[in-house]
Structure 1
Amino acid sequence: MKKLELISKGIENGYILEKYGVHGTEKLNGMPSLSLPLEWKNAPEGTKSYALVMIDHDAIPVTGFTWIHWTAIIPRDLNKLEENASLENKDIIQGVNSWISSMGGLSKADASHFGGPAPPDKEHDYTFTLYALDKELDLENGFYLNELYKAMEGHILDEATIIGKYKNIK
């Protein structure tokens, strides 16, 4: 049986392209907002939906917590998210990212999208994990990551992870 696989044309040679982060031109109230394109294949039989989580553990020394960049629930019939899907694809349900925190200062509505890389100190690793789920999740836009993890518990059929680095300076 083939394992779920996740890829992105927005990551080249291990690095997230600059346009998807703080060095890009697309911003939502100062937050980098152009989401990366993602594709996946080999979904396990019985997959009813997907969940996507993008986090930055390298933010812990700076912020005191893992920075959440993007959480989304994706319908089963999709096998990719196009560039800028966070703002353009109305079929995905998105959770709150860490830009809602006091360090980001965005409203819940604005923070319920992709919030691109903006490492303040050095190069960071950004982890994208796609989960294939055996049910559709009953969450609404603006959900929190802990709510997503609770809803997924016992329903993960497979998962795939990719990591992209982003530089803090040009």
Structure 2
Amino acid sequence: MADEFRLASSNINHEGRLPRQYMGEGQGAKKNISPPLEWYNVPKGTKSLALIVQDIDAPEPSGPIVPFIIWVVVNIPPTLKGLPEGFSGKEEQMGGEYAGIKEGINDLKKHGWEAPKLPSHGHRIEFKLYALDDELHLGNKVTKDKVLDAIEGHVLGEAVLMATF
């Protein structure tokens, strides 16, 4: 298991809790910023990585539980070892290897990381990183559904990190 493709975050504590500053509620200037992520053992042959973050316990107003998309990121170079805290919205400024990364549209109809204000605590936040054998060319409106359609047959590995809020 030591060489397993995996995803981690230094800011998710040992109990798996995602700190308030990454959510749509909380104190201070660090409100609603993307958490730092690191990954390990990217599968051989990976040409790009794609990330989908969702609240898998989000209730629809009408009742059923429907995942709420918080963040979609595509064309992450496999040479990167992670994304720094507060990365969302800064890929252009950071330049270099980060410049080709594209953030998609979340369920709040915004680009980048945008966590909802949760009606209650205890929601599970799923971070899923896909290792792909190709780059994605999805145009300007990158969504979770477009990503999942495009990666069909191109996934070399998946790494999942679960956190609770």
* TM superposition shift of 1:9: 1.4
Q: Which moved more, 1:145-154 or 1:84-93?
A: 84-93
SS at structure 2 position matched to 1:59:
coil
C-alpha root-mean-square deviation of aligned residues, in Å? Answer: 1.9
Give the one of 101, 108, 126 matched to 1:99: 108
Aligned length: 152
* TM superposition shift of 1:76: 2.2
Quote the residue 2:19 is aligned against.
17
Q: Return the structure number with greater strand share.
A: 1
TM-score by length of 2: 0.84
1:164 aligns with 2:154: no
Quote the residue 1:80 is aligned against.
82
Q: Is the CA contact (8 Å cut-off) linking 1:94 and 1:141 kept in structure 2?
A: no
Amino acid at match of 1:121: S
Query: For 1:74-153, what aligned pairs fall within 5 Å after superposition?
Result: 74-90=76-92, 91=99, 92-100=101-109, 111-153=110-152
TM-score by length of 1: 0.81
Q: Give the gaps of 5 or more residues in structure 2.
A: 93-98
Q: Which moved more, 1:2-11 or 1:41-50?
A: 2-11
Q: Return the structure number with greater helix share.
A: 1
Q: Give the gaps of 5 or more residues in structure 1.
A: 101-110
1:45 aligns with 2:44: yes
Q: Is the CA contact (8 Å cut-off) linking 1:70 and 1:115 kept in structure 2?
A: yes
Identity over aligned pairs, percent: 36
* TM superposition shift of 1:62: 4.5
